[in-house]
């Protein structure tokens, strides 16, 4: 899991440019599934045939990033957020483009840091010229450039949101039994961070009987954090609600019962702000009963997202079991 | 034109008292389903939980079938437990647009292992500094007290349990007005039932779908899947709108007792809106007009863009104190709204339906 997480999180993949992540995942999962295909938006589907109706498992490949909006004659680049990126997190950060080129971010002179806004930030890639001499073009995307590291029992990396979910889906595929009560479709979705867009079309195409998103969630266990009854290291979280979905009671109950049966720790999650692929899946066509398995994560949408190794292992155990047993009828 | 055996007052009060916070509308749906069964051919719940009652239209042989959906959301605003805090006090988040100012001192039911009575507490004014007292009240400052110790509370309540307002409906001004929780939008469901009851004695060509949608208050979610699943040829959403009250400008509100409110604007198919308008006039029903510049924030918004697009209209009932436990309305407005929808159902024919896509 750790080696896989390292590869996944260090790969470039802001929303809209998930190709490198997709190529990596395809290579990692292809031997564990019956069929693999992509769709018009770039979602990757990896399918294991089973006896019963399909369960769609979804983890998003994309990460937050920035897009270049303007390049001046001195080579300074202006930027805008792709997904929920905060400007103050970027100061002094290295960003990386698709081709591996790096740049750093700084700001114009400010009276106070409170005046910081996107229009005051610029990106410096070392080229002192406008295009075409500058290798970067308007519209190019960049993401955080940070290595994956282990810190005690925890993992630190950019893009754990949601490569942690991608890693879990890949590992789940590797451990599924030969006979499955349901067809299990692993979906690696695009453009979640800009509005659950990949999952929308993926669910429409698959017409699954059930949906299950796997994504990170916030925690309330850091100094003076807003109230949230989820902590790092206390087990994966079974989502009740976020801004995008109220998880189906049947799916929720099934997940809770399965975790209890396995004797693994779990937490119940009510996320006051934020959404995930299940928000799109559950509203597909006539509605798809959906749930979410969440990985507790600190510092979401920063260059140093943190998840707990034990939470990941427990999540994996739970996911394998969820995919191996028959789901309750509606 | 009273319908025998159907009393809107009783129906509305029973619906209002039933619990149905977004995401768990079961109890309210059971009440609605019992009534719909009396007036329609068949009743079912779809995969998303929406209640769909069907009544077949009677057409001359050879004419193409077409359908009208009448939709009202049955979910109500409420809250959800986010944390069982020290001392057994419950922290919570809003389900739908609940206003913290109206929650303070409110009786609630926490739907734990068993339903628990509770009250919404905050620091007493005596204990607050003057400056604190003037500060805005936010949900983070409120908690629910169910009178249990922390250990007992942990036994009975879990994160994610729903909380509903605890308020029996009351009649005012004789039996003209009714106030209570969840009138938004049990009033709309009652209007659908009034319409269905009226139609017991009327012929209609259109196949009729009466839909009680779920999860409207969290983003029109039930309407999204119901519109796709039923795929009607026309749709009318029924909801509530702001009633006149002190301090509100006349041009933003509608009077209680002056009839249902017919919306116009980009969310409304012009010919369908005009049809409602004309029907109200020819049957001498009281009505009011509400121009809405864009999103009506009702199920009509979801229906309009389902699949290939559905000609959609919106009929509303004026209501005061929206999203509180004392939402107040006039029952005559509900009756007139139900009659208007019945007249619409009766008047629709294939030619009108086909004309809707000709601009």
Per-residue model confidence as pLDDT tens digits over A229-268: 999 999 999 999 999 999 999 999 999 999 999 999 999 9
Neighboring chain A residues of B95 at a CB cutoff of 8 Å = 241, 246
Q: Distance between CA B24 and CA B46 in Å, rounded?
A: 14
Distance from CA of B22 to the nearest CA of A (A): 8
Q: Do B159 and A240 touch (CB under 8 A)?
A: yes
Q: Where in chain B is the domain with CATH 3.40.630.10?
A: 8-76+181-355
| Pairing assessment for the beta strands B261-264 and B90-95 based on DSSP bridges | unpaired
Closest approach of A330 to chain B, Cα-based (Å): 8
Two structure tokens written together for A298: 């600190």
How far is the C-alpha of A55 from the C-alpha of A182, rounded, in Å? 7
Question: Which contiguous run of DSSP H or E holds residue B275?
Answer: helix B270-282
Backbone angles phi, psi at B87, to 5 degrees: 90, -5
Residues 196-235 in A contacting B (C-alpha not used; CB under 8 Å): 220, 226-229
Q: Are A135 and A101 in contact (CB under 8 A)?
A: yes
DSSP-derived pairing of the beta strands A154-157 and A149-151:
antiparallel
Q: What is the pLDDT of residues A145-192, one digit of tens each?
A: 999 999 999 999 999 999 999 999 999 999 999 999 999 999 999 999
> Is the CATH number 2.40.30.40 carried by domain B79-165?
yes
Q: What is the mean pLDDT of chain A?
A: 97
Every domain range in chain B assigned CATH 2.40.30.40: 79-165
Token pair belonging to B292? 């809405």
Read off the pLDDT band of A78 (50, 70, 90): very high
Edge-to-edge strand ranges of the sheet holding B51-55:
B42-45, B51-55, B207-213, B67-73, B234-242, B312-319, B261-264, B288-291
Assess contact for B49 and A289: CB atoms under 8 A.
no
| Residue A268 contacts B where some CB pair is shorter than 8 Å | yes
Q: How many residues does chain B have?
A: 359
Please say whether the beta carbons of B340 and B276 come within 8 A.
yes
CATH of B8-76+181-355, one of 3.30.420.40, 1.10.3720.10, 1.50.10.10, 3.40.630.10: 3.40.630.10
Q: Residue B21: closest CA among chain A residues belongs to which residue?
A: A246
Residue B158: which of A249, A268, A330 has the nearest Cβ? A268
Secondary structure of residue A251 in the 3-state scheme: helix
DSSP, collapsed to helix, strand or coil, labels residue A186 as strand
Q: What is the mean pLDDT of residues A71-90?
A: 96
Out of B48, B159, B160, name the one closest to residue A286 (CB).
B48
Residue B281 DSSP class: H
CB–CB contact A268 B160 (8 Å): yes
Whether residue B229 and residue A287 make contact (CB cut-off 8 A), yes or no, is yes
The per-residue pLDDT string of chain B (359 residues; one tens digit each, 9 = 90 and over) reads: 455 689 999 999 999 999 999 999 999 999 999 999 999 999 999 999 999 999 999 999 889 999 999 999 999 999 999 999 999 999 999 999 999 989 999 999 999 999 999 999 877 777 777 777 777 888 888 999 999 999 999 999 999 999 999 999 999 999 999 999 999 999 999 999 999 999 999 999 999 999 999 999 999 999 999 999 999 999 999 999 999 999 898 888 999 999 999 999 999 999 999 999 999 999 999 999 999 999 999 999 999 999 999 999 999 999 999 999 999 999 999 999 999 999 999 999 999 998 998 87
CB of B110 within 8 A of CB of B81?
A: yes
Which of A207, A270, A273, A328 would best serve as a mutation to test chain B binding (most B beta carbons within 10 A)? A270
Is residue A56 a contact partner of residue A281, using CB atoms and an 8 Å limit? Answer: yes
How many Cα atoms within 13 Å fall on the side-chain side of residue B135? 12
Q: How high is the pLDDT of residue B132?
A: 73
Residues A167 and A169: their CA atoms lie apart, in Å, by 5
Task: Tell me if B100 sits within 8 A of B138, measured CB to CB.
Answer: yes
Q: What pLDDT score does B129 carry? A: 75
Contact between A50 and A182 under an 8 Å Cβ cutoff? The reply is: yes
Q: Which residue of A has its CA nearest to B158?
A: A268
Q: CB of A246 within 8 Å of any CB in chain B?
A: yes
- Contact state of B221 with A283 under an 8 Å Cβ cutoff: yes
Cβ–Cβ below 8 Å for A270 and B80: yes
Residue A209 dihedral angles phi and psi, to the nearest 5°: -80, -30
- A131 pLDDT band, cuts 50/70/90, is confident
Number of Cβ pairs < 8 A linking chain A and chain B: 64
CA distance A300 to chain B (A): 20
Q: Quick check: A229 and B84 CB within 8 A?
A: yes
Domains of chain A: 2-63+158-324 (3.40.630.10), 65-144 (2.40.30.40)
Using CA coordinates, name the residue in chain A closest to B82.
A270
3-state SS class at B345: helix
Residue A174's pLDDT is: 98
| Cα dihedral value A296, A301, A302, A303, nearest 10 | 90
Instruction: Give yes or no for a contact between B74 and B28, defined as CB atoms under 8 angstroms apart.
Output: yes
Residue A192 structure tokens: 């979640």
Give me the sign of the Cα torsion angle B318, B321, B322, B327.
negative
Q: Report d(CA B157, CA B147) in Å as an integer.
A: 12
> What is residue B1's predicted lDDT score, i.e. its pLDDT?
47
Cβ pair B80:A240 closer than 8 A: yes
Conformational region of residue B147, where left means phi above 0, alpha means psi within -120 to 50, and beta covers everything else: left
Residue among A180, A179, A209, A176 at smallest CA distance from A329: A209
């Amino acid at each position: 899991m750790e080696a896989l997480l390292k590869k996944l999180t260090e790969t470039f993949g802001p929303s809209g440019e998930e190709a490198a992540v997709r190529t990596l995942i395809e290579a990692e999962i292809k031997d564990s599934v019956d069929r693999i295909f992509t769709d018009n938006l770039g979602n990757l589907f990896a399918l294991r045939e089973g006896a019963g109706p399909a369960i769609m498992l979804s983890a998003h490949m994309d990460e937050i990033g920035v897009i270049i909006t303007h390049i001046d004659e001195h080579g300074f680049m202006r930027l805008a957020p792709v997904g929920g990126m905060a400007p103050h997190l970027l100061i002094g950060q290295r960003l990386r483009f698709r081709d591996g080129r790096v740049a750093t971010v700084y700001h114009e002179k400010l009276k106070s840091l409170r005046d910081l806004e996107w229009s005051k930030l610029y990106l410096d890639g070392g080229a002192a010229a406008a295009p075409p001499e500058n290798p970067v073009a308007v519209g190019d995307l960049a993401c955080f450039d940070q290595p994956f590291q282990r810190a005690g029992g925890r993992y630190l990396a950019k893009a754990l949101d949601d490569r942690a979910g991608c890693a879990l889906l890949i590992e789940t595929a590797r451990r599924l039994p030969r006979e499955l009560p349901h067809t299990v479709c692993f979906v690696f979705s695009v453009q979640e961070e800009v509005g659950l867009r990949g999952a929308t079309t993926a669910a429409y195409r698959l017409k699954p009987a059930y949906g299950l998103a796997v994504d990170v969630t916030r925690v309330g266990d850091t100094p003076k954090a807003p109230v949230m009854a989820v902590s790092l290291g206390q087990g994966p979280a079974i989502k009740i609600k976020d801004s995008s979905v109220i998880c189906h009671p049947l799916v929720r109950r099934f997940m809770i019962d399965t975790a209890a049966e396995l004797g693994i720790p779990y937490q119940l999650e009510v996320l006051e702000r934020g959404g995930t692929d299940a928000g799109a899946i559950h509203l597909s066509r006539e509605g798809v009963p959906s749930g979410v398995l969440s990985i507790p994560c600190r510092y979401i949408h920063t260059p140093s997202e943190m998840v707990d190794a034990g939470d990941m292992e427990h999540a994996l155990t739970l996911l394998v079991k969820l995919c191996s047993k028959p789901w309750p009828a509606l | 034109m009273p319908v025998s055996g159907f009393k809107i007052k009783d129906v509305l009060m029973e619906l209002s008292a039933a619990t149905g916070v977004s995401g768990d509308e079961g109890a309210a749906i059971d009440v609605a389903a019992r009534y719909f069964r009396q007036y329609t051919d068949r009743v079912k719940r779809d995969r998303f939980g929406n209640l769909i009652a069907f009544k077949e239209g009677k057409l001359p042989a050879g004419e193409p079938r077409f359908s009208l959906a009448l939709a009202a959301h049955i979910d109500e605003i409420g809250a959800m437990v986010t944390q069982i805090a020290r001392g057994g006090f419950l922290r919570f988040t809003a389900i739908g647009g609940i206003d913290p100012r109206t929650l303070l001192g409110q009786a609630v039911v926490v739907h734990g292992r068993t339903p628990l009575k509770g009250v919404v507490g905050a620091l007493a004014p005596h204990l607050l500094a003057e400056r604190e007292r003037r500060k805005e009240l936010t949900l983070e400052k409120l908690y629910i007290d169910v009178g249990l110790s922390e250990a007992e509370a942990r036994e009975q309540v879990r994160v994610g349990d729903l909380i509903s307002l605890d308020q029996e409906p009351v009649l005012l001004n004789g039996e003209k007005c009714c106030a209570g929780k969840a009138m938004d939008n049990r009033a709309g469901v009652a209007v659908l039932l009034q319409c269905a009851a009226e139609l017991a004695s009327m012929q209609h060509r259109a196949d009729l779908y009466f839909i009680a949608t779920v999860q409207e208050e969290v983003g029109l979610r039930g309407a999204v899947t119901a519109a796709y699943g039923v795929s009607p040829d026309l749709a009318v959403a029924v909801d509530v709108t702001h009633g006149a009250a002190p301090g509100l400008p006349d041009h933003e509100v509608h009077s209680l007792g002056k009839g249902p409110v017919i919306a116009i604007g980009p969310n409304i198919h012009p010919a369908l809106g005009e049809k409602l308008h004309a029907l109200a006039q020819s049957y001498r029903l009281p009505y009011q007009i509400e121009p809405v510049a864009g999103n009506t924030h009702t199920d009509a918004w979801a229906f309009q863009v389902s699949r290939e697009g559905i000609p959609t209209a919106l009929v509303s009932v004026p209501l005061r104190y929206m999203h509180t436990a004392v939402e107040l309305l006039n029952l005559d407005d509900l009756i007139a709204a139900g009659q208007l929808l019945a007249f619409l159902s009766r008047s629709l024919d294939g030619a009108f339906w086909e004309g809707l896509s000709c601009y």
